[in-house]
Structure 1
Amino acid sequence: MKEKEQELLSLIEKEGRMESHHLAKMLDTTIDDVEDMLRSLEKQKIILGYSALIDWTKTDIQENVTAMIDVKVTPKRGVGFDAVAERIYRFKEVKALYLMSGTYDLSVAIEGKSMSEVAQFVSEKLSTLDSVISTTTHFQLKKYKHDGVIFTEDDDDDHRMVVSP
């Protein structure tokens, strides 16, 4: 991978909406070069998509319930965790899936319209898979920071307790 492509990826990872002419200036190259690099990186499936980070609490739209589920599984001979992971990530409710080190094997992030819907997913779809040994579900109560973006209100007041000798 070329150095300019690496720089371009770093820039759009932080701010995916940056316009080509701004990227060209920052990379000291032409707009056409930037657009060619973007098309090439998309074609190679290095850039998989562009998304917005939305604070749903500030809208009139009902927020979904988000849950992180720790899953212990029995890996399959010859394919390890990949086969069970593929079965899990194909469910429409699954937003993210990670192989983890530590006490559990997989971390599954899901969204549902209610806690009941999440519970139904766990009991009827996830825990019924042959390789799944156990699950532990954690519900997200409040989002403070995601992908480096802080979600709490900005106030410049320093709320630290004053400590003096």
Structure 2
Amino acid sequence: MSDEREVLDVLTTNARESTADIAAQTGLDEAAVEEAIASLERRGVVHGYQAVVDWDRVEEERVRAIVELNVELDRETGYEEIADRIAKFPAVEALHLVSGDYDFAAEVAGASMQDVSGFVSEQVAPIPEITQTVTHYVMETYKDGGVRFGDRDEDDRLSVSP
């Protein structure tokens, strides 16, 4: 495994690790870790560092949805161009070209269900190449960014035994 890959493995688990801690975990020296991180950032392999947030524990309401999008391409327009237009919206947290019944899967966030549905109907659906949208609201998140969320409210239903 390359030095950069080892550093990436540690960063994807916990991006707050110090270079000294990453060096200890990988067996590299700190200078090699710093150079690997700088190289990964410079080449656009690492685009940023973010906290993984359990939004269900935040008091302010925040609604997330997965929006499936079908598009119809023409000779002048490709997936990249459509993706560039959709990805520019701040409400779009992630956008993926996918296989299957739909072309794109967008992760969208808003203050309410009305906010998300308004965004989809007023901003996304009118894009000429988009032929269909299907919105799935996220009801509960159990794992995000590779992190499993625990300590949910205990199931207080009584167990029934025959």
Relative to the length of structure 1, the TM-score reads 0.86
Distance 2:61 2:18 in 1: 30
Determine if contact 1:76/1:83 at 8 Å carries over to the other structure: no
Match of 1:26 in 2: 25
Match of 1:130 in 2: 128
Alignment of 1:1-165 (within 5 A): 3-60=2-59, 62-77=60-75, 79-153=77-151
SS of residue paired to 1:85: helix
Going from structure 1 to structure 2, the CA distance change for 1:154 and 1:109 (only over 3 Å counts) comes to: closer
Determine if contact 1:70/1:135 at 8 Å carries over to the other structure: yes
Larger RCO: Structure 1 or Structure 2 (Cα < 8 Å, ≥ 6 residues apart)? 2
SS of residue paired to 1:11: helix
- Residue type of the alignment partner of 2:123: K
Distance 1:13 1:127 in 2: 34
Give the RMSD, CA atoms, in angstroms. Answer: 2.5
Deviations 1:62-111 (A, max 9, x none): 13100111111012325521111111111111100111111111111110
Distance 1:124 1:56 in 2: 25
Distance 1:139 1:113 in 2: 13
Determine if contact 2:61/2:112 at 8 Å carries over to the other structure: no
Q: After TM superposition, which residue ranges in structure 1, 4 or more long, deviate above 6 angstroms?
A: none
Determine if contact 2:93/2:108 at 8 Å carries over to the other structure: yes
Percentage of matched positions with identical amino acids: 32
Query: How many pairs does the alignment contain?
Result: 160
Relative to the length of structure 2, the TM-score reads 0.88
